[in-house]
Amino acid sequence: LVGCLGSEQEAECPGAVVGQKRIDCHPQPGASQEACEARGCTWCSSDVPNAPWCFFPEDSPYGYARSGSAEKTDKGWRVTLNKRQALSLFGNDISPIVLEVEFQTKDRLRFRLYDPNKQRFEVPLKINGPGVTAEEANYEVEFSDDATHFMIKRKSTGTVLWDSPLVDLFFSNQFLQITTTVPSTAVYGFGEHEHPTFKHNMDFVTYGMFSRDQAPTSFANLYGVHPFYMCVEPDSNAHGVLLLNSNAQDVTLSPNPSLTFRTIGGILDFYLFTGPTPESVVQQYTEAIGRPHMPAYWSLGFQLSRWGYGSLDVLKQTVDRMKHYDIPYFMKELKKDGKHNILILDPFITKDEEPGTYRAYELGQEMGVWVNNSDGVTPAVGQAWPPGDSVFPDYTNPRTVEWWTQLCLELKDVLDYDGIWIDMNEPSNFMRGQIPGCADNEINYPPYTPSISDRSLAEKTLCPDSKTYLGDHYDTHSLFGWSQTEPTFNAVQQATGKRAFVLSRSTFVGSGKHGGHWLGDNFSQWKDLRRSIVGILEFNLFGIPYIGADICGFNYNTTYELCLRWMQLGSFYPFSRNHNSEGNSEQDPAVFGDAFAKISRATLRIRYSLLPYLYTLFYESHVYGGTVVRSLMHENQLHNFVRVLICSGMVGSTEISESLSSFWHSLNQEKIFGCVEGYFEEADFMSQFTSDQETHGIDTAFLWGSAFMIAPVLEEASTLAEHISEQHRHYRASQYLKWEDESLSLLLQVRNGCRGWMLPLTCSCYCAGSSLQGHTQSSNCQARRKHTDMKANWFPYYLSPTVFWNCSISRAVVLKSSIFLCCAGQVLGSRLSLLGARVCFSPCPPLTPGNKRENCSTKGRLHTCGLMREAELWRQNIAGSCSVIAGSQGCASWQGRGRVPSAWRKNYATVSAPLNKIPLYIRGGYILPQQAPATTTTESRLNPFGLIIALDEQGQASGSLFWDDGDSIDTIEKENYFLAKYTFSKLQLLGTRDLFLVFPLRICSLNSLACISLSDSTDSAPIVGVLWRDPARYWPPAVLIRCSVQHRNKLAQGQCTDAFHTALSSVQMCPEKDL
């Protein structure tokens, strides 16, 4: 069904709700006009994609109404709601119900709807707050005068964050539904599913949530349940909402835009987090549900496993291959040489072993730790991997926790493990319900089953009427993995005496406090490679930053190229593991031969060198609750006011004999570059990703923290990677002009040579108005945009002293109406006449400096002859929100040198990524700690430290380092760690100790320091402390200088100044020498 609002079909439905606003009155399959109208609803077809044909009318007989006035309480408000009419959708409606509002913190609001007369199941996760007054809160709650709406607004902007019509509210024993509008379609979250994109499709898409043993497929409910979403508002503020409910449920995302929540049990218990940035939303969310655990340092190393090694000999062969190629790894059996051992445990316990031979079952039987049948006495019996029948531990039972801890301690004496991987804990069962099947009742077969796979609550698991310590499996099913994770975490720490490693397949709200997760039994397909980024971004939203996907895929046989690209991407998963299934071909990095192993080793060595930075991010996540891996949209930086020249109109040709820089200082506000009006305007620039709506849907690149970007290749047979660059910095007024003119033509007559001519560039798809109206090649701007190469304030990780970067010569610049000065670029392959141009395009012969050409073809490659400086191509000045790429510097060259300003918007970049490279970028203004890599994390921790200093426009940078022994328990809580912040400014690198604590940083001296800078001028040193003897020869957009303590004079280019020498000689990682 495709179409738009106001279609003829909808016009034939008198009084029908427009398609985008419809709420489904028959959410289960089998809707018909007869069944619809029997419910008092409207039946009407629609051309709106996926819109329901059976929907609630505007005068719906359902819902609730407020009874009396809102009552003020110590925590907020309390409102009684009564059912409006007797008509029932699924029976057993409850009335009255209570809406209770709690002002928990200034940024967190709780509102819940419950039955005041009967206790219903609630998730045993206590979220409390100190409480604030309505005046202190950053939100406000409103009840409409006609008692039909409940709204929550952001105080600072008035944006409505939550708006629920009470007429759309349902609260029966086994069907609860509430609908809210959201301020935009930029909605993220809800899990666990394999979402094709990070930003959700809002075309009436429904996602079910109910933990299930299910390989990742589109729209299927998978292993965990996370009813949390984040919404970015039109003004770039963000908020998040949690529905704390563990029953089977679904949510429909509608184009209104709105969200409709449905669940079949418990209460409607919502928490709203006001942000206002995406990162602060996650911080507030994890403050409520529990901060992510601090992983052991060794768990950040590369991991290798598979189901089905078959024999110890096969495992040894794999290990030998890895050693031969010096690929970082740790084994799963032998614990020596700094390697670690993780065991996989499934929850089901076989009951058919010979008496006296299986302690786990006999002790559990004695202690009564099993999930029981509906009688509450007889253990529920199903079938799984063990031969025969199995029983299932009930981890909500304190006796089970005691049983499990004791077994984990005993297992440690048999197998010297370092961590436990808990699998199949949805819980999985290889049959529908237990033996002999599920009874025919409303618990097992409710009147409404959410949009989950098979529309069955018992498929691949136990019957819903099974009994657990906390209640019916109907209520607690999706809590099984969550309830197992904490006792496993505590048992591992007790058994090892070290920081616990727990990896759980099934997760719920708050699971990140005690464990990590992987994305399950994925497939060796390119789509799974791409979608793994979405899953990793989502689980960082959910407060589980220790997350990864099976590198190269779990199911099916991988291919050389797919596995290699996946090794490159997976090297930057927080949890980095190559894992595959029984019966599939081997896929460890060493099995593909020398070239594959060399490329994998190179990428993994980058990971290992940056582990101090990654470990610091985990520290920050543990303490402050933010993400470790985040989308580009999360970066949100407000810059100070800048002065921007606003021009309008045109007075014709203008003589410019001075350079742009000197000319700027002689400007008057009446005539500027041919502007009828020219004036300065104070402008508040939101130089950020969050405010750029184009970044809201980007999930092909991601960030480690704020400073490190990964932009992998995600398509087969591709050597290009596309990403978007951030507008982090703004150029000074002398470098930034905004051109607003709609009457420019392709031909400009400009006098006085190269410095006088101005060339307008445009792509009409993006410019306001119709600049360059005569242009006939302005179609397909989307395709042309992808050919524009840019770096903005991000520096390539693989940086050489002189950086060349490819630009598409046939499409040099293609965005927004603007001009450039003093250099040349080709304009969309069109012809252009330039009087006095000193550059030209082949096949026209090149010009010598000082000569002129009346006409210049632009169909071929740009080339120049003569010295670059004399041809003025070494200069680059910009105007407007467009940049100029300097022409190629040789007649046979297809490369150009240039700089892209941070003033750009929608900065798409297509970069070269041959099979041996993954594009990686370091952000200007940040310092990243690093260490020399080694084969294991144990060895790499012994290597000297280094700092990567990427300077911003002001020549400044800052960063931090967290360090402890890597695996002791509660080092942060016990204040046994090292933490320092580093700043680079005014020729000096300084370290400031945040906390002087017990842990000594034994490796204090810097082994190396890499400094990266974006050149601001060719007339002065482009980086602090470096002298350039010949700016015309050495003019790259970015400069890498490596200085080491031992070899300061051996620089890649130039030499360190005395000031830089002094700074380097005194630099230590430890701010205090006595550390």
Ranges of each domain in the chain: 8-55, 64-276, 341-500, 644-682+720-912, 944-1066
Predicted pLDDT of residue 983:
83
Q: What is the DSSP letter of 735?
A: G
Beta carbons of 614 and 341 less than 8 angstroms apart: no
Q: Answer yes or no: is pLDDT of 1040 > 50.
A: no
Residues 524-544 have pLDDT tens digits of 999 999 999 999 999 999 999
Instruction: Choose the weakest-confidence range: 69-78, 276-285, 714-723.
Output: 714-723
Beta carbons of 869 and 1008 less than 8 angstroms apart: no
490: left (phi over 0), alpha (psi -120 to 50) or beta: alpha
Predicted pLDDT of residue 711:
87
| Closest C-alpha to 752, from 657, 869, 671, 853 | 657
Spatial separation of the C-alpha atoms in residues 132 and 111, rounded to whole Å = 14
Predicted pLDDT of residue 924:
75
Predicted pLDDT of residue 774:
26
Spatial separation of the C-alpha atoms in residues 829 and 629, rounded to whole Å = 40
Spatial separation of the C-alpha atoms in residues 1042 and 1065, rounded to whole Å = 14
Q: φ, ψ for residue 982 (rounded to 5)? A: -120, 140
245 pLDDT band, cuts 50/70/90, is: very high
Burial of 267 (0-12, 13-18, 19+ CB in 10 A): buried
Mean pLDDT across the stretch 401-418?
95
Beta carbons of 521 and 556 less than 8 angstroms apart: no
12 pLDDT band, cuts 50/70/90, is: low
Q: Between helices 560-570 and 594-609, what is the axis angle to 10°? A: 10
Give the SS3 label for residue 780. coil
4 pLDDT band, cuts 50/70/90, is: very low
Q: What is the DSSP letter of 705?
A: T
Residue that the structure tokens 């029966």 belong to: 172
- Common-topology check for domains 64-276 and 944-1066: yes
Residue that the structure tokens 């297809």 belong to: 894
Beta carbons of 598 and 323 less than 8 angstroms apart: no
| Closest C-alpha to 898, from 880, 878, 915 | 878
Q: φ, ψ for residue 714 (rounded to 5)? A: -125, 5
Predicted pLDDT of residue 311:
67
**Which of 45-54, 325-334, 693-702, 1035-1044 is most confident?**
45-54
Predicted pLDDT of residue 469:
99
CATH T-level topology, domain 8-55 = Spasmolytic Protein; domain 1 (4.10.110)
Burial of 128 (0-12, 13-18, 19+ CB in 10 A): exposed
Instruction: Choose the weakest-confidence range: 561-575, 662-676, 948-962.
Output: 662-676
Q: What number of other Cβ atoms are within 10 A of residue 779's Cβ?
A: 12
Question: CB within 8 A of 242, min separation 6: which ones?
Answer: 227, 228, 270, 271, 273, 285, 288, 289, 509
Mean pLDDT across the stretch 1053-1059?
32
Beta carbons of 1011 and 924 less than 8 angstroms apart: no
Q: Does domain 341-500 sit in CATH 3.20.20.80?
A: yes
Burial of 376 (0-12, 13-18, 19+ CB in 10 A): exposed
Strands 920-923 and 794-796: antiparallel
CATH ID of 944-1066, from 1.10.1740, 1.10.10, 2.60.40, 3.30.300:
2.60.40
**Which of 65-69, 805-809, 850-854, 1038-1042 is most confident?**
65-69
Predicted pLDDT of residue 645:
26
Mean pLDDT across the stretch 346-363?
96
Predicted pLDDT of residue 794:
61
Question: CB within 8 A of 348, min separation 6: which ones?
Answer: 382, 384, 385, 386, 390, 391, 392, 424, 427, 428, 429
Spatial separation of the C-alpha atoms in residues 782 and 922, rounded to whole Å = 27
Residue that the structure tokens 């700043």 belong to: 983
Spatial separation of the C-alpha atoms in residues 731 and 393, rounded to whole Å = 63
40: left (phi over 0), alpha (psi -120 to 50) or beta: left
Instruction: Choose the weakest-confidence range: 217-231, 360-374, 502-516, 1037-1051.
Output: 1037-1051
Beta carbons of 541 and 190 less than 8 angstroms apart: no
Which structure tokens are listed for 111? 């509102």
Predicted pLDDT of residue 951:
75
Question: CB within 8 A of 11, min separation 6: which ones?
Answer: none
Residue 983's identity, in one-letter code, is: T
**Helix H or strand E encompassing 408:** helix 398-414
CATH ID of 64-276, from 3.40.50.2300, 3.40.190.10, 2.60.40.1760, 3.20.20.140:
2.60.40.1760
Beta carbons of 424 and 484 less than 8 angstroms apart: no
Mean pLDDT across the stretch 693-703?
84
Beta carbons of 362 and 961 less than 8 angstroms apart: no
The percent of residues in the chain predicted with pLDDT above 90, rounded, is 53
Which structure tokens are listed for 336? 């020596």
Strands 737-738 and 642-648: parallel
Residue that the structure tokens 């006009």 belong to: 33
Spatial separation of the C-alpha atoms in residues 559 and 925, rounded to whole Å = 39
Q: Answer yes or no: is pLDDT of 66 > 70.
A: yes
Buried b (16+ CB within 10 A) or exposed e, 781-790: beebbbbbbb
Residue 391's identity, in one-letter code, is: V
Question: CB within 8 A of 478, min separation 6: which ones?
Answer: 209, 210, 211, 224, 225, 246, 247, 248, 426, 506, 508
Q: Answer yes or no: is pLDDT of 160 > 50.
A: yes
Residue that the structure tokens 């009335």 belong to: 95
Mean pLDDT across the stretch 680-692?
38
Buried b (16+ CB within 10 A) or exposed e, 383-422: bbebeebbbbbbbbbeebbebbbebbeebbeeeebbbbbb
Q: Answer yes or no: is pLDDT of 761 > 80.
A: no
- By annotation, the residues acting in catalysis are 423, 426, 521
Which DSSP string corresponds to 937-974?
HHHHTTSPEEEEEE--TTS-EEEEEEE--SS-TTTTTT
Spatial separation of the C-alpha atoms in residues 698 and 726, rounded to whole Å = 12
308 pLDDT band, cuts 50/70/90, is: low
Beta carbons of 168 and 63 less than 8 angstroms apart: yes
Cα angle 609, 606, 981; round to 5? 40
Q: What number of other Cβ atoms are within 10 A of residue 1019's Cβ?
A: 9
Q: φ, ψ for residue 135 (rounded to 5)? A: -70, -30
Spatial separation of the C-alpha atoms in residues 617 and 640, rounded to whole Å = 27
Beta carbons of 126 and 96 less than 8 angstroms apart: no
Q: Report how far apart, in Å, the C-alpha atoms of 987 and of each of 839, 925, 950, 983 are.
A: 39, 14, 13, 10
Residues 951-992 have pLDDT tens digits of 776 778 889 999 999 999 999 998 888 888 888 876 566 665
| Closest C-alpha to 547, from 527, 523, 522, 576 | 576
Mean pLDDT (the chain) is 74
Q: φ, ψ for residue 1005 (rounded to 5)? A: -80, 150
